[in-house]
Amino acid sequence: MRRHEFQPGRLIAGLVLLAVGVLYLLDATGRADLPWYAVVPMAAGGLTLAMLVGMTTYAVRRDRRDRISESSER
């Protein structure tokens, strides 16, 4: 199996959505009483955080790639 790049933004998005799903499952089974306005902002905030982390990761990798290609051209 080929190795792939680690993408922390996707990891954060997956963990946040997993947590939201577990909270909704707990609410559906009656083990927790969560209002919708507590869970929806958590999901939106988590996805926003994942987007920021993904964009930062992309910018760092692009900058590193550009510096490597510039040094190999010399």
What pLDDT is stored for residue 63 in this prediction?
83
pLDDT value of position 54: 95
Residue appearing with tokens 């499952």: 25
Per-residue pLDDT tens over the stretch 11-61? 999 999 999 999 999 999 999 888 888 889 999 999 999 999 999 999 999
Cα dist from 9 to 5, 12, 24, 54, 67, whole Å: 12, 5, 23, 4, 23
SS3 of residue 7 by DSSP: coil
Q: Could you tell me the residue ranges of all domains in the chain?
A: 10-73
pLDDT top residue among 4 and 45: 45
